[in-house]
Structure 1
Amino acid sequence: MNLLSVLRDSYFFFSHNLLAITRLCLPLIVLEGLLLQQVSTLVAPETATLWRLLAGLLFYPLYSAALILFLDARSNGLQPRALDLLAAGLRLWPSFALLAGLNTLAILLGASLFVLPGIWLMVKLAFAEYLLVLRGLSPLKALHASFDMSSGYFWPMLGCILIVMLPLWLLDGWSQSSEPIASNALASLLMDCTGRFLQLFSSVVLFRLFMLRSSLPNDD
């Protein structure tokens, strides 16, 4: 796998389908941001992170599943309607939410031991969402299959994820530590939604990696 080729192709796809991706995902991202903002103000600071993770499971599975279906359809030359994609995402929501919860729990447990196990699990489980949505695997089978599918491709996958996500993590950390932004509800919401929308590019990159890996022999 050539990192530059993957990133170039992903950027080309993302930029040329930006309007469709915006219409599909941004309204739900804004609703998610509003909900997370309300949760943060209603719960105790020591439990805010847990409640935000749980609240995120309401919207993230819906727009992520719809985006994966959109990526697959556009890769096959189709132009699906946003409402059809969201309806399909809604049908997948129970299993996708369970998968997202298990995925997040595994990564957090790994990160609680040391940072590196959390990063390792994040890479090894990166294909699970695509396996669930596109191949119809159950959450547990998708997690297991992602482990197998990523074998031998850890470093290219890690490189792509870090190149895309590290700047976004730094932006998120800066916005949370910036007092003018943290104390301004509108600015905080804008930064949060911007970061979540830009993270959709990582889904495009991982989809490209998934398709490349699927085309190689012995991927089962």
Structure 2
Amino acid sequence: MNPLTVLRDSLYFFQRNLSQIVTLCLPLVIVEAILQRIVDDAVGPDASAGFGLIVGLLVYPLYTAALILFLDARSRGESPRNRELLAQAVNLWPRFALLSAISTLLIVLGLSMFFIPGIFLTVVLAFSEYRLVLRGEAPLAAMKSSFNLSRGHFWRIFVCILAVLGPLMLLKEFSYSLFSKDDNTLLSLVLDSANSFLQLFVSVVLFRLFMLISDKSDQ
């Protein structure tokens, strides 16, 4: 379960299924960026970060749950339609939104406590979304299962997350250093949407890890 192998396999899958991932997730990612922009303009730059969290809870669970369902279906050789995946994602939204809210608050709190606890929680809770969507677990049960499943695999998960998010964060900062978000609303929406969409690759990588570790733990 070499991290490089996981990243390579995930990239291959992402490239082969890019067209459906785009049509499935990108429209909702764009909606999220638009809503975020509207909220930012309405409340101002000094508003609480809680407003951004609320926007994320409205849309993020929908496209992430749909993506996880798509990844699971494709891993079994199935080719589900986008509307079927989105319909299932809508049914999962209440539990997924609650899980996202709890996880985000814990991670933010952890990051405020000398940063390290936030990183730890990011890693050990990495599989909670997959447990909720694919195993039908309740939010707290999914978090507990993720914690147990990550035991003995902390650094493997950490390396995979860092290998994806590190370059994406640098790319985001570089793009915003070249273009001012405040000067061009359309460009701001494009950059925000592109960054959020590329971060979906993290979900692909973690799904691959989740399946490998789950299969191993079931043996």
TM-score interval w.r.t. the shorter chain?
over 0.9
CA distance in 1, matches of 2:69, 2:53: 24
Is the Cα–Cα contact under 8 Å of residues 33 and 192 in structure 1 kept in the other structure?
Answer: yes
User: By how many angstroms is 1:209 displaced?
Assistant: 0.3
- The corresponding residue for 2:14 is 14
CA distance in 2, matches of 1:83, 1:27: 13
CA distance in 1, matches of 2:166, 2:193: 17
| Unaligned ranges ≥5, structure 1 | none
| Unaligned ranges ≥5, structure 2 | none
CA distance in 2, matches of 1:121, 1:178: 33
The aligned runs of 1:1-220 (5 Å cut-off) are 1-176=1-176, 180-217=180-217
Is the Cα–Cα contact under 8 Å of residues 175 and 182 in structure 1 kept in the other structure?
Answer: no
CA RMSD of aligned residues (A): 1.4
User: By how many angstroms is 1:178 displaced?
Assistant: 5.3
User: By how many angstroms is 1:186 displaced?
Assistant: 1.0
**More deviation, 167-176/70-79:** 167-176
CA distance in 2, matches of 1:96, 1:217: 24
User: By how many angstroms is 1:187 displaced?
Assistant: 1.0
TM-score (norm 1): 0.95
CA distance in 1, matches of 2:103, 2:153: 19
Is the Cα–Cα contact under 8 Å of residues 175 and 188 in structure 1 kept in the other structure?
Answer: no
Amino acid at match of 1:172: K
User: By how many angstroms is 1:105 displaced?
Assistant: 0.4
CA distance in 2, matches of 1:169, 1:162: 10
CA distance in 2, matches of 1:204, 1:53: 23
CA distance in 1, matches of 2:11, 2:102: 29
Amino acid at match of 2:205: V
CA distance in 2, matches of 1:202, 1:95: 21
Is the Cα–Cα contact under 8 Å of residues 175 and 181 in structure 1 kept in the other structure?
Answer: no
TM-score (norm 2): 0.96
**More deviation, 178-187/40-49:** 178-187
CA distance in 1, matches of 2:68, 2:201: 11
Amino acid at match of 2:191: M
Q: In percent, how many aligned pairs have the same letter?
A: 53
CA distance in 2, matches of 1:39, 1:170: 25
CA distance in 1, matches of 2:179, 2:198: 23
